[in-house]
Structures are given as structure tokens and as C-alpha cells.
């Protein structure tokens, strides 16, 4: 038998992707460094479709129809390089290697360039949706050449999640590292979303005085409206869960230290390099990091602040409505930042990414899937040159309607001593962008004072320097 596609690396992700292909009628060659995983897959799920179990790399490659298409689903980093090297040596020009792991886009660029020199196609494909997504339909973000994408398209479209209108959640994102870049930004947005939801929860509990069950109810209600999303849905599930051992709300027995695997950090590091402000994502990464600093937290636990004083019940109800507005407005701002970053990356690396297409493939399958993403898709479809989401009439109108409540929530949070770095960074970004004049004029003047860094003027062209240490006359520095 010849297989349509091969999957090597059969831990949770690879196994479920292989099953997804098989369930969709493809013959799948399967391989894993440790052969027991391969045998287990065929033993446990062999009746779901057509698998070809390969014990060795040579057998695996020999099982594939040409041009050979094989997906690597192993640990990101050095293991991925090792596996690429092992298989590249066995392949022929025109064959396609797909890396579905969580690679850094810069690694993908390097690997793609190396393999292209050897006549091989390399497709770095971001895959989101966790193990359930891999099995039932992930959102797939492939980079690499258009030619390689065309040869994979029917298979990827059949295993991908489908949006409500039936469109598969995959597209050719762009050349070389574009797919993994977009997957990275997806995860950055996911961090920001989770932080904003966390802040809404914190406010509903400590300011509105709601129980976890009542917060869950509130989220469930929000999930029927414009905030409808997977993350809000699972938040309600988590908040209504009771710990079996203690009978307490589950959220109260989980240690309040959030971990991270690194894609949020990559997003922020890359944003710093590109010079694109993603303050919402940065605050989310820092908030997780702060939570884990038990040393700093215990050394600061005695510092004064407002005493806990929940609002009266009649005020609490209205406050919860305001929190919904603040969450929604912060979310729009945060997504706008994410899309600004996609545009910067695309410009920097010449990827030509279609921003609307990214919204389209995130509508289902991935962790940030939400009703909202279809509106982002249509905003860019209507105006492909839209400079930023906030400039879209529809989002601009909504955020304008929310802004008074948003300010009120941030002010209340500050008054009650509840930290809302996500809400307040988003609001600061919104206000900075809409300000006619920013104090950056003063910053630039300071730079000219101590470092002769020059400045531009509002009233005429050119570059100028003031002789601060002399008679303070102005000279042209062009
Ligand atoms: P892991 O990241 O835990 O990787 C385990 C797999 O990698 C096993 O098949 C293992 O083989 C193989 N492996 C590790 N080192 C080597 C090596 N040096 N040579 C050959 N094979 C090696 O598996 P996951 O399924 O969780 O993830 C796979 C990829 O998908 C990762 O890049 C991950 O970041 C990404 N991903 C994961 C998601 C998730 O929700 N888990 C979501 C989206 C992407 P062996 O059995 O022999 O040890």
C-alpha cells in the first residue's frame, strides 16, 4: 500500500492528527522513534481507517506516494531539527516536509531555506486546538511555498475545523515562517484574552461580591452575546466546578501561579524587535510571571491598600454590566494589537499575509475561536487596506459606546485595589491612539537635551537640534 501522507511523532498531537486523516479516508503511514507508540496506535485505532505502520524511517519513507508528504509532530526545538535531518536524507526533490509542532518562526525560516537548497519543500504549519482539535478539526496555519500548499490543500481542508459557513479553517498564510508567525500571534492573543477574562472574574468576585457559581452564570450569559467564545465557555465550566475532596469551588483550591510554555513570551520578544506595541499581550505575560514570584509577593504582602468592600447588591448588578463592556472593549483593543503585529511581520518579511484570511481560519478549531472573528474577517474583507481594526466603523462604534463604562470599571478597580493590568493597558493604548498630542514631544526634547538626538518640528520639515549647553539657539541638523 502507498500512503497519501505520513505522520512521524505519535504522542497526543501526532496520533490524533493521524487518526483525523484516516477518518477522512486517507491512507496514513505512521512512525515514531519508539515503535511501541506506532503499534499502540494501530492496535487501538486501526479500525478507524487505513494505517501503514512503519518501524523504521526507511520503511516510513518507502510507504509514501510521490511527491512524499510527511508531517513531523515531535517536540519543538532540537528534536525537530534531528528528525528533519534524518528524513531529509531519505527524501527526493519535490517531496514535502511539514512541521506541525510549535516551532519558532525564525527556526522555520532557517529550516525552509536549508531544505529549499536541497530541493525539498518545507511547510511550517501552526496547528491550534490541542489534542481534541487535532482529532476533530484544528485550525491549521501553513507557511512555505504556494506550490507545497497546493499539494496539501485537499488533505488539510478535509481535516481542518469548519467555520459556521462550512469554510475549512486553513489557508496558505504566506511563505517560509508566515504560518508559525501567525500561530505565535494567535497564542499571544490567547494569553491576552485569558488575562482579560481573569481580570473580569477578579472584579466580579472582589468588587461585585459574586460567588464563583454566580460568576460562572454571568459568563454563561455573556457567552450568548458578542463575547461568545470557547475561552468564555470553558471559564464558566471551570468556575462552576466543585473540588471533590474539599467541596470548595475548584478555582479556590488551585494555586494562584500561572505557568507558560513560551509562545506568549516569543510574541512579546518579537513585537519588541519589530517595534510594534502589543501592550495587552505583554501585560498578560508579565501577569503570569508576577503570579509565580512567590518571593516578591510574600515580601510585599504587608503593603497598605483599600480594605475589601464589595458593592451593595443593587450596584453590583450594574457593575457586572460595565465589566462586560470593559472586557469587550479591551478585547477589541487587544485583537487590534495582534493584527497590527501580523501586518508588521508580514511587511518585515515580505509575506503578503491577508489579514482577513487569518480571521477566517481562527473562527473554529483554535483556542481563541469566537463569533467575534467572523467580524474581523468581514472588516478586512470590506477594506483590505484597513490600517487597524480600531479604524473599522463597526468596531470603532462599539468601542466608543463601551468607553465610558470601561473607564468607570478601571477607576473602580483602582479604587478597590484590584489589579487590572490588561484592562488598563488596553484603555491606555486606546487613549494614546486617539490623543491629538502625546508627551512624546517632551521625550524627544529630553533626548535632544542630553544626547543631541535631534527632533522634527510640527511647523516645518527637517531635523533640528537646540544648543542646550550654549545660547539655546536652534540649528538645522540636515
Ligand atoms: P511532545 O511535544 O510531548 O513530543 C513527544 C513526541 O516527540 C514523541 O513522539 C517523541 O518520541 C518525539 N520525540 C522527542 N524527541 C525526539 C527525538 N529527538 N527524535 C525523535 N522523536 C522525538 O508531543 P505533543 O504531541 O504534545 O506535541 C507535538 C508537537 O505539537 C510539539 O511541537 C508541540 O509543541 C506541538 N503542539 C502541541 C499541542 C498540544 O496541545 N499538546 C498543541 C499544538 C501544537 P518518543 O515517543 O520516541 O519519545
Q: Is 155 in the pocket of ligand 1 (CB under 6 A)?
A: no
Instruction: Say how many Å lie between the CA of residue 74 and the centre of ligand 1.
Output: 3
Q: Is 409 in the pocket of ligand 1 (CB under 6 A)?
A: no
Q: Is 56 in the pocket of ligand 1 (CB under 6 A)?
A: no
Which residue, judged by its Cα, is nearest atom 39 of ligand 1?
130
Instruction: Say how many Å lie between the CA of residue 13 and the centre of ligand 1.
Output: 7
Instruction: Say how many Å lie between the CA of residue 370 and the centre of ligand 1.
Output: 27
CB-based contacts of 78, cutoff 8 Å, min separation 6: none
From 16, 20, 33, the mutation candidate for ligand 1 (largest count of ligand atoms within 8 A of CB) is 33
Instruction: Work out which ligand 1 atom sits closest to the CA atom of 11.
Output: 25
CB atoms < 10 A from the CB of 357, how many?
A: 18
Q: Which residues are catalytic?
A: 183, 190
Instruction: Say how many Å lie between the CA of residue 8 and the centre of ligand 1.
Output: 10
Q: What is the DSSP string of 197-239?
A: HHHHHHHHHHTS---HHHHHHHHHHHTTTTT-BHHHHHHHHHH
Cell of 120: 525539498
CB-based contacts of 476, cutoff 8 Å, min separation 6: 462, 463, 464
Contact 29, 64 (CB under 8 A): yes
Per-residue pLDDT of the chain (478 residues; tens, 9 = 90+): 799 999 999 999 999 999 999 999 999 999 999 999 999 999 999 999 999 999 999 999 999 999 999 999 999 999 999 999 999 999 999 999 999 999 999 999 999 999 999 999 999 999 999 999 999 999 999 999 999 999 999 999 999 999 999 999 999 999 999 999 999 999 999 999 999 999 999 999 999 999 999 999 999 999 999 999 999 999 999 999 999 999 999 999 999 999 999 999 999 999 999 999 999 999 999 999 999 999 999 999 999 999 989 999 999 999 999 999 999 999 999 999 999 999 999 999 999 999 999 999 999 999 999 989 999 999 999 998 999 999 999 999 999 999 999 999 999 999 999 999 999 999 999 999 999 999 999 999 999 999 999 999 999 999 999 999 999 999 999 8
Q: Is 226 in the pocket of ligand 1 (CB under 6 A)?
A: no
Q: Is 84 in the pocket of ligand 1 (CB under 6 A)?
A: no
Query: How confident is the model at residue 476, as a pLDDT?
Result: 97
Query: How confident is the model at residue 478, as a pLDDT?
Result: 83
Query: How confident is the model at residue 301, as a pLDDT?
Result: 93
Contact 344, 274 (CB under 8 A): yes
CB atoms < 10 A from the CB of 469, how many?
A: 8
Which residue, judged by its Cα, is nearest atom 38 of ligand 1?
130
3-state secondary structure of 258: coil
Q: Is 264 in the pocket of ligand 1 (CB under 6 A)?
A: no
Q: Is 137 in the pocket of ligand 1 (CB under 6 A)?
A: no
Instruction: Say how many Å lie between the CA of residue 185 and the centre of ligand 1.
Output: 21
Q: Is 217 in the pocket of ligand 1 (CB under 6 A)?
A: no
Which residue, judged by its Cα, is nearest atom 12 of ligand 1?
74
In degrees and rounded to multiples of 5, residue 162 shows phi and psi of: -115, 135
Which residue, judged by its Cα, is nearest atom 23 of ligand 1?
11
Instruction: Say how many Å lie between the CA of residue 367 and the centre of ligand 1.
Output: 19
Q: Is 419 in the pocket of ligand 1 (CB under 6 A)?
A: no
Contact 195, 422 (CB under 8 A): yes
Expressed in angstroms, the distance from the first to the final Cα of the chain is 71
Query: How confident is the model at residue 15, as a pLDDT?
Result: 98
* ipTM at complex level: 0.98
Whole-angstrom Cα distance, residue 14 to residue 244? 33
Which residue, judged by its Cα, is nearest atom 9 of ligand 1?
9
- CB burial readout 269-298, b (16+ within 10 A) else e: ebbeebebbbbbbbbbbbbbeeeeeeeeee
Q: Which one, of 222, 111, 301, 40, lies nearest residue 125 by Cα?
A: 111
Whole-angstrom Cα distance, residue 259 to residue 423? 21
Query: How confident is the model at residue 239, as a pLDDT?
Result: 98
From 6, 11, 190, the mutation candidate for ligand 1 (largest count of ligand atoms within 8 A of CB) is 11
Which residue, judged by its Cα, is nearest atom 3 of ligand 1?
75
How far is residue 351 from each of residues 180, 181, 282, 338, 469, measured CA to CA in Å?
Answer: 12, 10, 24, 16, 47
Angle at 347 between CA 432 and CA 142, to 5 degrees: 115
Query: How confident is the model at residue 371, as a pLDDT?
Result: 86
CB atoms < 10 A from the CB of 44, how many?
A: 11
Amino acid at each position: 500500500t502507498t500512503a497519501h501522507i505520513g505522520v512521524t511523532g505519535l504522542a497526543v498531537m501526532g496520533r490524533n492528527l493521524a487518526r483525523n486523516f484516516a477518518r477522512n479516508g486517507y491512507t496514513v503511514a505512521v512512525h515514531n522513534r519508539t515503535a511501541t507508540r506506532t503499534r499502540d496506535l494501530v492496535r487501538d485505532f486501526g479500525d478507524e481507517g487505513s494505517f501503514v505502520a512503519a518501524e523504521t524511517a526507511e520503511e516510513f519513507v518507502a510507504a509514501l506516494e510521490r511527491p512524499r508528504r510527511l508531517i513531523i509532530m515531535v517536540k519543538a526545538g532540537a528534536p525537530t531539527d534531528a528528525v528533519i535531518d534524518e528524513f531529509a536524507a531519505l527524501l527526493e526533490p519535490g517531496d514535502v516536509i511539514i512541521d506541525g509542532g510549535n516551532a519558532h518562526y525564525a527556526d522555520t525560516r532557517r529550516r525552509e531555506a536549508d531544505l529549499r537548497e536541497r530541493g525539498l519543500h518545507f511547510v511550517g504549519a501552526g496547528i491550534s486546538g490541542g489534542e481534541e482539535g487535532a482529532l476533530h478539526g484544528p485550525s491549521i496555519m501553513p507557511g512555505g511555498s504556494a506550490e507545497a500548499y497546493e499539494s496539501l490543500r485537499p488533505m488539510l481542508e478535509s481535516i481542518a475545523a469548519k467555520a459556521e459557513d462550512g469554510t475549512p479553517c486553513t489557508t496558505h498564510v504566506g511563505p517560509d515562517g508566515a504560518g508559525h508567525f501567525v500561530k505565535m500571534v494567535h497564542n499571544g492573543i490567547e494569553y491576552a484574552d485569558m488575562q482579560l477574562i481573569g481580570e473580569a472574574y477578579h472584579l466580579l468576585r472582589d468588587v461585585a461580591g459574586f460567588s464563583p457559581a454566580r460568576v460562572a452564570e454571568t459568563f454563561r450569559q455573556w457567552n450568548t452575546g458578542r463575547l461568545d467564545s470557547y475561552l468564555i465557555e470553558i471559564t464558566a465550566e471551570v468556575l462552576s466546578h466543585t473540588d471533590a475532596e474539599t467541596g470548595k469551588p475548584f478555582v479556590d483550591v488551585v494555586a494562584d501561579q500561572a505557568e507558560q510554555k513560551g509562545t506568549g513570551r516569543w510574541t512579546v520578544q518579537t513585537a519588541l524587535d519589530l517595534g510594534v506595541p502589543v501592550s495587552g499581550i505583554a501585560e498578560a505575560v508579565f501577569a503570569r510571571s508576577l503570579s509565580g514570584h512567590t518571593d516578591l509577593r510574600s515580601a510585599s504582602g504587608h503593603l497598605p491598600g483599600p480594605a475589601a468592600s464589595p458593592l451593595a447588591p443593587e450596584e453590583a448588578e450594574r457593575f457586572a454590566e460595565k465589566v462586560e463592556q470593559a472586557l469587550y472593549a479591551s478585547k477589541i483593543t487587544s485583537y487590534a494589537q495582534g493584527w497590527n503585529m501580523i501586518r508588521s511581520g508580514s511587511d518585515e518579511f515580505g509575506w503578503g499575509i491577508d489579514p482577513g484570511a487569518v480571521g477566517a481560519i481562527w473562527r473554529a478549531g483554535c483556542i481563541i475561536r469566537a463569533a467575534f472573528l467572523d467580524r474581523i474577517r468581514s472588516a478586512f474583507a470590506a477594506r483590505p487596506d484597513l490600517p487597524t481594526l480600531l479604524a473599522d466603523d463597526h468596531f470603532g462604534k462599539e468601542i466608543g459606546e463601551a468607553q465610558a463604562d470601561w473607564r468607570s470599571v478601571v477607576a473602580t478597580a483602582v479604587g478597590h485595589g484590584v489589579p487590572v493590568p490588561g484592562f488598563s493597558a488596553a484603555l491606555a493604548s486606546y487613549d494614546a491612539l486617539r490623543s491629538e498630542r502625546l508627551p512624546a514631544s517632551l521625550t524627544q526634547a529630553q533626548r535632544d537635551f542630553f544626547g543631541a538626538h535631534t527632533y522634527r518640528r510640527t511647523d516645518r520639515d527637517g531635523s533640528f537640534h537646540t544648543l542646550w549647553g550654549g545660547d539655546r539657539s536652534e540649528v538645522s541638523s540636515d
